[in-house]
Chain A
Amino acid sequence: MEPLYIESTLKTPEVKFDNKTGIFEVKGMSCAEYALDFYKPLFSWLDKYIEDPQSQTIVNIHFKYFNTSSAKCILQLFERIAQLESAGRQLEINWFYNKNDEQMLADGENYSEILGIDFVMKEVS
């Protein structure tokens, strides 16, 4: 299994999923009209990773903005990641948000609440 690297575009975030280190990053904008097309390969990759994960996985998420088309896909992403915790692995999810972006903070809290998993909220200036 190879790490998954996807460069950012104006409408899609940068993705760095490293199965060797267990560190995952998603960063940037997520506002494609058909977000599912972008997220499907991420889902497939995660499904494989979950079969043989590291003992600890750290997930760093930093969206500048995401549209409603991405909102469900992001939840699906987290639901896959959450399986690691259910399987007894260590999981740390860091939700980064830009300074004063109350909406993004609230969105992170909402995902955390839905999943029943604590997120570490990190404001970026």
Chain B
Amino acid sequence: MESYFEIYKNMLPNSIKLSYKGTVTFQLIDSILQIISSRLDVIEDNINIRRKVYCVLMECLQNLSIHIEEIEKLPVKNYDSTCALLTIENDNNGYIISTGNFIQNERIQPLQKRLEEINKSNIDELKILYNKILTNNTYNAKGGGGLGFIDIARKTNEKLDYNFVKVDNLYSFFHLEVKIKKSN
């Protein structure tokens, strides 16, 4: 058995590490945000980075909860489709937020198209894209109408890392990794 103290010692003094697998309810989002916010107040001096991590985490979590609600109606075989995976950690460069959730295969193409469009856009183009969706007068059930990923890309000034792993003919697992660098 690896010494737990060794793991502790190998972590940065001002580190944060949280992993969660399970369903994502609105209550859980509040709890996670509260935990991370309290820890950030202690370890992160830069208020703008604190704000960014908080905002990006909230968008990631709210995205997860909405997608889980959508998939609940059609459960994935062999897996609990309502269980998502979430990791928050930091290193010397900044913070990394990762999320994983099941997605219907038919929804991959439009999502991938949107993510690719975001990733090929520079900061000015992202603003144009954001305003285009902001002003298009359509709402999804959430109310945001698809601004979440653009907002994350604008706030982090980083490309969105993602992949889809096929589970079966109906479903895949969507992994999104968001970096918040201290230098940006």
Q: Say how far A103's CB is from chain B's closest CB, in angstroms.
A: 7
Given contacts A10-B30, A75-B134, contact A68 B48 (CB under 8 A): no
- Name which of B7-15, B58-66, B95-103, B107-115 contacts chain A: B58-66
Which of these binds chain A: B78-86, B147-155, B165-173? B147-155
Q: Evaluate contact between A73 and B131: CB separation under 8 angstroms.
A: no
A123 at the binding interface (Cβ < 8 Å):
no
Q: Is the CB of B143 within 8 A of A114?
A: no
Q: Which of B47, B62, B134, B141 is within 8 Å of A67, CB to CB?
A: B62
Q: Does A70 contact B (CB under 8 A)?
A: yes
Q: Least Cβ distance of B99 to chain A in Å? A: 15
Do B143 and A36 touch across chains, with their CB atoms under 8 A apart?
yes
Q: Compute how far the CA of A48 lies from the CA of B127 in the bound complex, rounded to whole angstroms.
A: 33
Smallest Cβ distance from B152 to chain A, in angstroms? Answer: 9
Q: Chain B residues near A34 (CB, 8 Å)?
A: 141-143
The answer to whether A67 touches B135, judged by C-beta atoms less than 8 angstroms apart, is no
Q: Give chain A nearest CB distance to B37 CB in angstroms.
A: 11
A33 to B29, CA, bound (A): 10
Interface of B is mostly: helix
Majority DSSP secondary structure for residues of A touching B: helix
Contacts of B145 in A (CB 8 A): 72
With A33-B26, A67-B59, A68-B151 as contacts: A73 and B143 at CB distance below 8 Å: yes
B55–A72 touching, CB < 8 Å: no
A100 engages B47 (CB within 8 Å): yes
Listed in ascending order, the chain B residues whose CB lies under 8 Å from chain A are 26, 29-30, 47-48, 51, 54-55, 58-59, 62, 65-66, 127, 131, 134-135, 139, 141-145, 147-148, 151, 155
Residues of chain A at the chain B interface (Cβ within 8 Å):
10-11, 31, 33-37, 39, 65, 67-73, 75, 100-103, 110, 114
A-B contact pairs, 29 of them (CB 8 A): A10-B30, A11-B30, A31-B58, A33-B26, A33-B62, A33-B65, A33-B66, A34-B142, A35-B143, A37-B143, A65-B54, A65-B55, A67-B55, A67-B59, A68-B59, A68-B147, A68-B148, A69-B62, A69-B142, A70-B144, A71-B151, A73-B143, A75-B134, A75-B135, A101-B51, A103-B51, A110-B127, A114-B134, A114-B135
